[in-house]
Amino acid sequence: MIDDEEQKGYTWEAGYAEGNIRTIKDSLASFNEAMCNGDFSLQNALQLALTNLKLFECMACERLLQTEGFACKTCHALFCFDCDVLLHDSLHVCPNCE
C-alpha cells in the first residue's frame, strides 16, 4: 500500500509538464533529420519522434504551446496558460475529462 507521502512523488503537476515540454523542445531545436542515422528501425523511430514531439497543442484552443504548458491533474491533457486559467481556475472544468 502506498501512503500519501510516496504518492506525492507520482502526481502530475503543471510545473512538471511545463518543464518537460521546454526540455524536449530545447533538445529538438538542435536535432535535425540529418542526425537520424543508424539501423533502419532506429532511423524511423528518431524521425517519427522528431516529427511528433515538435507539435504540442493546447487541448482547448489547439494553438501550439510555445514555451509552457499546464497539465490537467486528472487526465493529464495539456493546456496553454490562457485556457488553463479560464477552464481550470475560473470555470473549474476540463473539456477532456467531461
Q: Write out pLDDT tens, residues 40-72.
A: 666 677 666 656 655 788 889 988 876 677 888
CA 23 to CA 67: how far, in whole Å? 10
pLDDT tens readout for residues 6-15: 444 433 444 4
More confident residue, 55 or 24: 55
State residue 13's pLDDT score.
Answer: 45
Percentage with pLDDT > 70 across the chain: 43
* DSSP letter assigned to residue 64: B
Give, for 78, the enclosing helix (H) or strand (E).
strand 78-79
CA 11 to CA 7: how far, in whole Å? 7
pTM comes to: 0.46
